[in-house]
Copies of this chain bind each other. A is one copy, B any other.
Amino acid sequence: MPSAAEGARRPALIGLDGDDTLWESEVHFADVHEVYRDVFTPFVGDGTDVDARLYATERRNLELFGYGAKGFILSMIETAIELSEGAVTSAEITRILALGKGLLSHPVELIDGVADTVPTLAAAGYRLVLVTKGDLFHQEQKVAASGLADHFEQVAIVSEKDERTYRRVLDGVGVEPEDFLMVGNTVRSDVLPVLAIGGRAVQVPHHVTWSHEVVESDVEFPVLSRLADLPGWLESLG
């Protein structure tokens, strides 16, 4: 475990990411990708990278759909039509709809240690906010199903985790960036924008990360292998 920076104070407010920090998400998308690849590779031959084509559609649609499972389902359908040059049948479209509904309805699985760590942080007197990105309705359902909602002072479901969003969340709860620590699995969304506004961040990487969230960065920040290590790391501060 990396040691805390010397003299760093304990944060007043801790932000926790949802997908792939508190509960599994990307593994379900990965499962869907695998089925999708199996169904549509025969349409295009081995030379075409089905995943890459799907990701290209997703990126193109991001400015209309935003993040989240519903936009992903629409992009799967659009890509299927393109890949098959229109030969896709309604049976395959129905298959995609079913895969998508599966994504929206799978039970919430908390990541190891999360169920204990969140109450531990709350009991230690930290104010907690959940900052999560994606479809509003789907995220609300996951928050409710997680059983963790009562530990959070606020649940912020946002369309993009950028500097402006974090500033808005902090303004909403009256906390200065220097008193805020964000904890999440992605460098792009959970770490860099928070550092940029003068906050602190800890990464807890997840073994599966959506390619869109992968960035190169020279910035240094603490990395913990499990969320369960966070209370001990906080103890080492100040």
Contacts and interface: CB of A to CB of B under 8 A. Distances in A.
Interface of A: 64-68, 70-71, 73-74, 77-78, 81, 84, 86-91, 93-94, 97, 100-101, 104-105, 135-138, 140, 157-159, 172
Q: How many copies does the complex hold?
A: 2
Contact of A66 (B81, B137, B158, B159): B137
10 contacts: A64-B104, A65-B137, A66-B137, A67-B137, A70-B70, A70-B135, A74-B74, A90-B93, A135-B136, A172-B172
Contacts of A86: 89-91, 94
Contacts of A137: 65-68, 159
Contacts of A101: 64
Nearest to A87: B90
Contacts of A74: 70, 73-74, 97, 100
Nearest to A71: B70
Nearest to A72: B70
A137 B89 CA distance: 31
Nearest to A137: B66
Contacts of A94: 78, 81, 86
